[in-house]
Amino acid sequence: MAYYFYKSSAPATVAVLLELAAAKEELRAGLDRLGKLFGGKVAGMHDIDSNFAGGLMLPASDELTFHWRQPDDHGYRHLRSAVKLPKGMPKEERAAYREEHKRLLTLWRENCPPLLSRHRYWERLGVNTGNLLLCGGLMFEHAGVAYFHLGFQIDQANHLANVAAGRPSSGWIEGAIEIVPSEYEKARAAKNAEVSRG
């Protein structure tokens, strides 16, 4: 598979990536707040398009299994949709556990940060998200420049010709110029160093 690398200094392009970075930071802060409410650490998860709240790292306790699923391979638990009670438990206790479970579900729903869709940002940049699903793409901003690593080529002339003819296009990113992989990797290393410094 071929990979293509681009950069853009266009203010509108850079602004989209800065908004995405701010949205990711807001999601991280929301996950931290959610974890504090439940007394544990929330896993930040992602899939092909989105970032979202995953399971919760909680201390071991037999009572947790009433409200939370068994820990996954990494020790994170997920809140059950309904309380799971053992047979033979007295009616009053069952009612108390059900009420507690309703409270936990409400607390989760009201405080869980919303899913963050990266495709919204790719679409704003003008990239065909179908191509992203099939071939992949990464983006980040560093020192006022937007960098892109795509599994497909974008070309302004082809994009404009396809749009004029009513044909599908891979899209086009304003101000994008193709760069060599080493320039992308150098910027990526600098960005990673910046992030690790805090």
pLDDT of residue 172: 95
- 61 and 71 in contact (C-beta within 8 Å)? no
What is the average per-residue pLDDT within 127-136? Answer: 94
What is the average per-residue pLDDT within 39-46? Answer: 93
Give the whole-angstrom CA distance, residue 195 versus residue 72: 28
- Domain boundaries of the chain, sorted by first residue: 4-22+117-197
What is the average per-residue pLDDT within 35-61? Answer: 91
Instruction: Give 176's contacts (C-beta < 8 A, 6+ positions apart).
Output: 6, 7, 8, 13, 148, 154, 156
Question: Cα separations (Å) of 183 from 21, 137, 180?
Answer: 21, 17, 6
pLDDT in tens, 77-111: 999 999 998 888 888 888 999 999 999 999 999 99
pLDDT of residue 58: 86
pLDDT in tens, 16-38: 999 999 999 999 999 999 999 99
pLDDT in tens, 145-180: 999 999 999 999 999 999 999 999 999 999 999 999
